Structure 1
């Protein structure tokens, strides 16, 4: 998430369009999505911790290569390589947590998933000052070193595999396809919003520092939203997903209508609550033998949506402007809500 707060600077230096800026997220998310199912399967097969370590060290090295990028296609290539390693992370991690914590998996996943909002919150505070003082490429060197340290800590902090699956089953039940479609649309809206939210505020007359602050604020509140979402799921089940999707639809509409920055506070709560809820709900559609595969499939479909979302929103911004493009995000949450209502029945 270092890219969104840097988009205004990158666009200015390279002279790229909003659609091309959206592709900087798409180029990462497409390879990330493509191998989610194999990542879940091989995590079950060779060891989930081992695959997570390979992922963290691999994408840390890949991201550091951004310091050598001088042309637009260089950026696209580095982001794609990052995505190849990043795709090994999610499925084995969430499968392991869901299996170990069982009845409390929502709460555990809620704590696990504070990672994205924490990362999104601190990213502008790290990358924007470096970009303004030195150059934006050096920002990626710093965050790569930070993430590499986490991989090294995991090697030494957790000895061996926490759980080993004896019989691995590469099977995807039919009842997860509608859930996967809902996740596809919801993550398209999520990443479309995240990619262009700082640029949206800049377009409305805010400075890049102020826009980055609002982006961080959304993510800081999202830390509490992630924990709350998982905890509420453990208590009320899938009804929590209905509420999260509804309020994301309503609040994203209200943000565009009013452009009040204060709305990032309630939006952040519901914005980041969807992840742990969907992940916990997905785990209930699988058995221990195919848990990694099912988690990988639903996340794969979600990140196909995440791949399309930033480019689609960027294209709409170029064609019809920021306001109409951001209204479409609210529309996507509405469609995902309707799909989930059929799933609920």
Structure 2
């Protein structure tokens, strides 16, 4: 493997931009849902399909196509995924009914599952140690956080200017086109494609068999719980914070004039800013502190913010819900990095696909369950956040166990020596 390849810096930036582009669309869904509910008169559960079905597409392509990054190589896999994503984005130019919109979002999800597993595997190829792997993963997710800020702002600006929100996807398609060109002309590093035994040979069946591996399963369940809780913020927080849930237009008159109203309007953006800032800080933090301790403490802080935000009502949640962005920032990229690092590099694409499956499953199931529970209680999003708090509590208990027992210590040390050398 050629970690010192002169193209590694360029590849790292292309990878970061891929994460940013994906976030521009996926994390704008909360703002888009508000528009679609009015335009097509759909329920909370129906509107949640705009988030759940794309996540299902990511989940299935991650699980069943994740092995492609190990089988045919990182570069071809990434280009195939980007081409499919670009096609879906440009097709939004003619998307003018709810079914077509949801279908195109679902197609884009399948595409993301393909190019993201390739990108996640590529991070291992350009890393010289498991710590650098975790730092780079935090960097990629930091740019994901930047995209999550940019996307909703673009949607808000487009709507304010009277331009259809669908143009967000056209803009993302333009970024995708540039990434395809970059991927075509940059030389990717080589990596060991020779498995140590026949049981490690790259195939769909061996990829699916990873689901039974305790390391893959442990981090995958953690990713599911985390994303299920996180998605409550950017999918349902805008609905929870509005003053009159029965109104056809979001209003924030119940908050005092000035900063409180401004925060209510831009609460999702505030959350994404804090999450992105935390991830840039995480690049430094995860190379210096015990990752298991940081995750345990931060997950406990999330439970506290959710609980106090529910008990104190909208006026307390207005501050505590966006604040969770700081505490959520390092959890998912660290799950991804440590989970992938528990396997040799020739399996990185496959295990990335397994973790991505559970990630997307959590992002699909979480908001949908929250929507159903809210509808069953008069449409009040508060009840959906109670479900999210339960997810966060289970995650915290699991991370307490992880810190106390440290079940991955030996495995990570072995792979550090065999896959990264002295690093």
* TM-score relative to the length of structure 2: 0.75
For 2:133, which of 105, 114, 117 is the aligned residue? 105
Q: Partners of 1:25 and 1:329 in 2: how far apart?
A: 16
CA distance in structure 1 between the aligned counterparts of 2:264 and 2:42, rounded to whole angstroms:
20
Tell me, yes or no, if structure 1 residue 218 matches structure 2 residue 271.
yes
Which residue, 44, 62, 69 being the options, matches 2:70? 44
Whether the aligned pair in 2 keeps the contact of 1:131 and 1:139 (CA below 8 Å) is no
Q: Deviations over 1:241-298 (max 9, x none)?
A: 2123222222223333343433355311112221211112212321122222122212
Question: Offset at 1:338?
Answer: 1.9
Distance in 2, matches of 1:309 and 1:298, equals 16
Aligned equivalent of 2:215: 175
Q: Distance in 1 between matches of 2:82 and 2:309?
A: 35
The answer on whether the counterparts of 2:223 and 2:332 sit within 8 Å (CA) in structure 1 is no
Please state which structure has a larger fraction of its residues in helix.
Answer: 1
Matched, 1:13 2:70: no
CA distance in 1, matches of 2:263, 2:402: 40
For residue 230 of structure 1, report the CA deviation from its aligned partner: 4.3
Q: SS state of the match for residue 70, structure 1?
A: coil
| Higher alpha-carbon deviation: 289-298 or 232-241 | 232-241
Cα-Cα RMSD: 2.3
From 384, 388, 391, give the equivalent of 1:325. 384
**2:155 counterpart of 1:147:** no
Question: Residues 1-345 of structure 1: matches in 2 within 5 Å?
Answer: 1-101=27-127, 102=129, 103-132=131-160, 133-156=162-185, 159-168=186-195, 169=200, 170=202, 171=206, 172=210, 173-203=213-243, 205-206=251-252, 211=264, 213-235=266-288, 236-258=290-312, 259=314, 260=316, 261-264=318-321, 266-320=323-377, 321-344=380-403, 345=405
**Contact kept? 2:370, 2:383, Cα under 8 Å:** no
3-state SS of paired residue (1:163): coil
Higher normalized contact order (CA 8 Å, seq sep 6+, divided by chain length): 1
Unaligned runs of at least 5 residues, structure 2: 1-26, 245-250, 254-260, 406-423
> Partners in 1 of 2:169 and 2:263 — Cα distance?
21
Does the aligned pair in 1 maintain the 2:306–2:389 contact within 8 Å?
Answer: yes
Q: Which has the larger radius of gyration?
A: 2
* Rounded Cα–Cα distance in structure 2 between residues aligned with 1:209 and 1:67: 32
* Distance change (3 Å), C-alpha of 1:294 and 1:126: same
Query: Structure 2: how far apart are the matches of 1:313 and 1:203?
Result: 19
Equivalent pairs counted in the alignment come to: 343
Q: Is the 8 A contact 1:110 1:226 kept in 2?
A: yes
- Mapped to 2, the partners of 1:149 and 1:43 lie a distance apart of 21
Distance in 1 between the 2:118 and 2:321 partners? 31
Contact 2:268–2:322 under 8 Å retained in 1? no
The 3-state SS of whatever aligns with 2:63 is: helix
Which consecutive aligned stretches of 4+ in structure 1 deviate over 4 angstroms post-superposition? 207-212
CA contact (8 A) 2:59 2:361 kept: yes
SS at match of 1:113: helix
Farther off after superposition, 297-306 or 201-210: 201-210
